[in-house]
């Protein structure tokens, strides 16, 4: 299948869906929903230049290491945890979980009800809702140490999830902005269809085709865990590695329930392929 990708016999999108399926991820399970990468780093230009490498996210690094400053903070956390003899990892949150999936797709059913259910029966505080592609990228790549989320497949084919066609009352932000449609980058001209078209072009671009294997190594491959993951600043809380934990040998029901609840709420590393 990788040879087919190199020969351009299948698209990058189809290859990523194939890998997600091999890794046990499915549209039927929000806790193990297909995970796709942020591919762009330019959400401010009027025109999107897909021939400029600076337009793109660094696919060789996880979201927690997209800037030097942020990477160093997570390395410091890893080293400090070692001294405290608690669970050693770079990240205590995950790049894909039921709440991340539902928050991205909250403007469409059945994700609306799923999101409200996970939030205790109502929408979240407006300022924490998914409302802007640019601000979400800045949070996940730079600003928020608790946010290392990646994307879902819908970002590359489904413009409807970006509009509040159902007219849900999503609340009002502190600056007075009433939440409605998702705010798009300038290069999308306010058009969800144009955003999806250009975003898909970016995914299938020569740059991404040449570097996508590096992201695959982080999520599905040899940099997923172990020494290679430590070197790549790509380790997560031990509970996220569900297939690495032998729950059958955990006799204490409280501990076992805690681990299962953790995985359910915060996400799970894909099976290594």
Task: Report pLDDT digits (tens) over 189-207.
Answer: 999 999 999 999 999 999 9
Residue 255 has pLDDT above 80, yes or no: no
pLDDT tier at 265, thresholds 50, 70, 90: low
Compute the distance between CA of residue 104 and CA of residue 88 in angstroms, rounded to an integer: 29
pTM: 0.90
C-alpha span between 60 and 54 (Å, rounded) = 14
Q: What's the CA gap between 230 and 254, in Å, rounded?
A: 30
The alpha carbon dihedral of 29, 25, 66, 68 has a sign of: positive
User: Nearest Cα to 77, choosing from 66, 95, 91?
Assistant: 91
Paired residues of 236 in beta bridges:
91
In 10 A of CB 254, how many CB atoms?
8
What token pair was written down for 229?
């993951």
- Quote the pLDDT of residue 247: 62
Intra-chain end-to-end CA distance of the chain, in Å: 13
Q: Confidence class of residue 240 from pLDDT cuts 50, 70 and 90?
A: confident
Tell me how far apart the alpha carbons of residues 97 and 63 are, in angstroms, rounded to a whole number: 15
Q: Which of 241, 271, 205, 161 has its CA nearest to residue 40?
A: 205
Torsion of CA 248, 254, 255, 257, to 10 degrees: 70
Q: What angle do CA 270, 218, 76 make, to 5 degrees?
A: 110
What is the distance between the alpha carbons of residues 151 and 140, in angstroms, rounded to a whole number? 10
237-256 average pLDDT score: 71
Question: Hey, where are the domains in the chain?
Answer: 1-264
Is the separation of the CB atoms in 150 and 96 below 8 Å? yes
Residues β-bridged to residue 115: none
Residue with tokens 């909250």: 106
CA distance linking residue 117 with residue 272, whole number of Å: 31
pLDDT at 228 over 90: yes
Q: Which CATH superfamily is domain 1-264 in?
A: BEACH domain (1.10.1540.10)
Q: How many CA atoms lie within 13 A of 91 on its CB side?
A: 32
Percent of the chain at pLDDT above 70? 88
pLDDT, tens digit (0-9, with 9 covering 90-100), for 14-57: 999 999 999 999 999 998 999 999 999 999 999 999 999 999 99
Q: Which residue has the higher pLDDT, 81 or 23?
A: 23
In sequence order, which residues have a C-beta less than 8 Å from that of residue 211 and are 6 or more positions away? 56, 59, 60
Q: Give the model confidence (pLDDT) of 138-154 as tens digits.
A: 999 999 999 999 999 99
């Amino acid at each position: 299948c990788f040879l087919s990708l190199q020969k351009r016999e299948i698209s990058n999108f189809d290859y990523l869906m194939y890998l997600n399926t091999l890794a046990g991820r499915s549209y039927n399970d929000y806790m193990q929903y297909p995970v796709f990468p942020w591919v762009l780093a330019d959400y401010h230009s009027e025109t999107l230049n897909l021939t400029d490498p600076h337009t793109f996210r660094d696919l060789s690094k996880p979201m927690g290491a997209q800037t030097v400053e942020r990477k160093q903070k997570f390395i410091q956390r890893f080293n400090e945890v070692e001294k405290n003899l608690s669970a050693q990892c770079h990240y205590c949150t995950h790049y894909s979980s039921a709440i991340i999936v539902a928050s991205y797709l909250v403007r469409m059913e059945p994700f609306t009800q799923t999101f409200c259910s996970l939030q205790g029966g109502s929408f979240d505080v407006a300022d924490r809702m998914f409302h802007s592609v640019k601000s979400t990228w800045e949070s996940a790549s730079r600003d928020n140490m608790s946010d290392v989320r990646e994307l879902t497949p819908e970002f590359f084919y489904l413009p409807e999830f970006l509009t509040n066609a159902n007219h849900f009352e999503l609340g009002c932000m502190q600056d007075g902005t009433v939440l409605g449609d998702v705010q798009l980058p300038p290069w999308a001209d306010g058009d969800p269809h144009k955003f999806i078209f250009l975003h898909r072009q970016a995914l299938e671009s020569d740059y991404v085709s040449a570097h996508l294997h590096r992201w695959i190594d982080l999520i599905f491959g040899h940099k997923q865990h172990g020494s290679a993951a430590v070197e790549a600043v790509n380790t997560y809380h031990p509970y996220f590695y569900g297939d690495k934990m032998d729950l059958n040998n955990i006799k204490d029901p409280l501990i076992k329930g805690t681990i299962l609840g953790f995985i359910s709420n915060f996400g799970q590393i894909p099976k290594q392929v």
